[in-house]
Structure 1
């Protein structure tokens, strides 16, 4: 187990004791983030694409390692790319 600094240990102790206070706008923030999640995962379009067998097998292996269906992994990759959060490593 990694060692925690004093501040991290204090936070963990407060959390374990159940004394960690919620933010003042917890309910509003929770509702807003639920709406974000619903909008993000709404799937209302269907596409067909052709991939090489090798690429499909690679995607299926990565999805299995992540514990998700490969179609979900593909949708996630595409979403991250469109949002500008997926970048090629050089």
Structure 2
């Protein structure tokens, strides 16, 4: 059974198998360093203050009840999805 790879995945395989990728000095140290950077960033949150129309906030709260989420989690999730290109809107 053959595994179907996306174009991006196939490019990575071709790069690695084509000897384009080479090991670096102090690999274990670098893996530890990047692991620490990831641990430091995961879940790191910043409190902000934002002004919203009261009617929009009430609609968001109603949506959050229907979704079974706290409204702040819903807002955070929407912002996260937009920041990562998963949600778009027309300007």
TM-score normalised by L of structure 1: 0.51
Q: SS of 1:44's equivalent?
A: coil
Larger radius of gyration between Structure 1 and Structure 2: 2
Q: SS of 1:88's equivalent?
A: coil
Q: 1:83/1:68 Cα in 2 relative to 1: closer, same or farther (>3 Å)? A: same
Q: Structure 1 stretches (4+) deviating beyond 6 angstroms? A: none
Aligned to 2:56: 55
The CA distance in 2 between the partners of 1:61 and 1:50, in whole Å, is 18
Q: SS of 1:81's equivalent?
A: helix
Question: Number of matched residues?
Answer: 52
Q: Which stretches in structure 2 are left out of the alignment for 5+ residues?
A: 1-37
**1:43 Cα offset (Å):** 4.1
1:72 and 2:81 correspond: no
Q: Which stretches in structure 1 are left out of the alignment for 5+ residues?
A: 1-34
